[in-house]
Structure 1
Amino acid sequence: MQATSTTPDLWQQIFGGNWQPPATMVLLTAGAALLVVLLRPLWRPARNVITIVHEAGHGLVAVLVGRRLSGIRLHSDTSGVTVSRGKPEGPGMVLTSLAGYVAPSLLGLGFAALLAANRTNVVIVICAILLFGVLVMVRNLYGVLSVVVTGLLLFAVSWFAPDGVQAAFAYLIAWFLLFGGVRPVFELQRKRRRGRARDSDADQLARLTGAPGFFWVGSFLIIDLGALLVAAAWLLLP
């Protein structure tokens, strides 16, 4: 087949309507994602994905507000650091600091909108683009390993799995981002109570704005829970 005829086919495969999953699959993937988030043995390795999206959120917003992105580091304890250069205060720095804890939930909300519109393949493509962008900016070995392993899993599903499995995987990703975006906010506040998070995003925002750190923790939680509720309505209601 000639390239001129395959290009529209590829475009249609990615952006056209995909296989519509049954309601039971939507519920099962939601339950599976919730179990991964709630059960510590499953949450610990899976949290690396949330960290990747968290740091990608910092990096993307930093670039959008005109800061210079220097690099991203992902650590084995599932923490991460994004370094950008620019004005150390002002709206750009506030938005950059704000982006991390809301990025997974907002991305999950976006994926829910795509899935509600029956665009499963677009979710997979966006995940691939996100992972590639993070991989380019990662500056430590563990970070590279974490992104590559996640990318290989994504590739295996998108390349070898049938449409039904790909759809279930896309729903699982969306639900995991939505549920997984909430739990780190509670973990953050527990660390803050113990005095172990003095350089957290919430405390940086407190220094930048004068509003207390607890206000920003509450803001993270409201945004994340709001995204979860809206996405759940899109995915579960007829």
Structure 2
Amino acid sequence: MRAWMKMAGIVIITAILTRFVPFSAFFRNVDTLVHELSHALVTLVLSGKVMYIHLFGDQSGVTLSSYTERWMAIPISLAGYIGAALFAILLFLLHARKKEQAGLVVVAVLAVVSLVLFVRNSYGMMWCGGFAALTIVICMFAPPWLRNSYYLLIAFICLVESVLSSFIILSLSFVDPEKAGDAANLSKATYVPAFVWGLVFTGISLWCAKISTSLLFRRSRVTGSES
């Protein structure tokens, strides 16, 4: 129970604090990019075709893909929120192992690959290019304290957004199921109500957030024992 309380406290406090960070909206698109890339990756694994990804300034996004079998809509639709939640774990795992520079390389590469292969709207292309350039500069030239602070900003924003976005979908699945995004798509594909899928997304995001925050405290204990 204490671990869950710690996770909830960290998510709530971070959600509030990051709203005061200049240009935090810009960095919240990292979570959106990972979400949409997760859809694209599963589409390709299933031998489907990714037509395009669009990213928008309000931190929303869309992936248009084509596939041959109706059932493929299920794993493709599941991939977005699950992929974003798992990516938050990856970022905190790299932090726990003091691999922040490697983590910045990962997010920069994702932005560049997305720009080259998938993202096709003007805002999304400018965002991918700008974010990749900034991240590469920070990774290569910034002093360690700035590089690590930048990394933690991205990690915490990805953590918070993966949780908040799942709660948004959950609320939409109750009040307006047709607009519940991936939950609505899953409902059409499986005939299971959208709110059930909203609960699944929320449960997974909270579980992944718990793992992420436990990795954060693991880093703290390791650092403390070395000092």
TM-score (norm 2): 0.81
Gaps of 5+ in 1: 1-28
CA distance in 1, matches of 2:76, 2:206: 20
Amino acid at match of 1:78: Q
Amino acid at match of 1:121: Q
Which residue does the alignment assign to 1:111?
A: 91
Which residue does the alignment assign to 1:53?
A: 34
Q: C-alpha offsets along residues 30-73 of structure 1, whole Å, 9 cap, x if unaligned? A: 89843355669966444322221211111112112221112111
Which residue does the alignment assign to 2:128?
A: 147
**Inter-CA distance 44–123: structure 2 relative to 1 (3 Å threshold):** closer
Amino acid at match of 1:120: E
Amino acid at match of 2:147: Q
Which residue does the alignment assign to 1:175?
A: 156
Note if 1:218 corresponds to 2:199.
Answer: yes
Note if 1:126 corresponds to 2:106.
Answer: yes
Amino acid at match of 2:162: G
Gaps of 5+ in 2: 1-9, 222-227
Which residue does the alignment assign to 1:14?
A: none
Which segment is superposed worse, 211-220 or 162-171?
162-171
| 1:198-217 equivalences in 2 (<5 Å) | 198=179, 200-217=181-198
**Inter-CA distance 155–115: structure 2 relative to 1 (3 Å threshold):** same
| 1:1-238 equivalences in 2 (<5 Å) | 33-36=14-17, 44-90=25-71, 92-136=72-116, 137-195=118-176, 197-198=178-179, 200-237=181-218, 238=221
Q: Which has the larger Rg?
A: 1
Report if the CA contact (8 A) 2:28-2:158 is conserved. no
Which segment is superposed worse, 132-141 or 161-170?
161-170
CA distance in 1, matches of 2:214, 2:119: 35
Amino acid at match of 1:89: R
**Inter-CA distance 69–149: structure 2 relative to 1 (3 Å threshold):** same
Q: Higher helix share goes to which structure?
A: 2
**Inter-CA distance 169–41: structure 2 relative to 1 (3 Å threshold):** closer
CA distance in 1, matches of 2:195, 2:54: 26
Question: How far did residue 79 of structure 1 move?
Answer: 1.9
**Inter-CA distance 122–44: structure 2 relative to 1 (3 Å threshold):** closer
Report if the CA contact (8 A) 1:73-1:81 is conserved. yes
3-state SS, counterpart of residue 70 of structure 2: coil
CA distance in 1, matches of 2:174, 2:166: 13
3-state SS, counterpart of residue 82 of structure 1: strand
Aligned length: 209
TM-score (norm 1): 0.78
Percent identical pairs in the alignment equals 28
Question: How far did residue 96 of structure 1 move?
Answer: 0.9
Report if the CA contact (8 A) 1:87-1:93 is conserved. no
**Inter-CA distance 37–208: structure 2 relative to 1 (3 Å threshold):** farther
Report if the CA contact (8 A) 2:180-2:194 is conserved. no
**Inter-CA distance 186–37: structure 2 relative to 1 (3 Å threshold):** farther
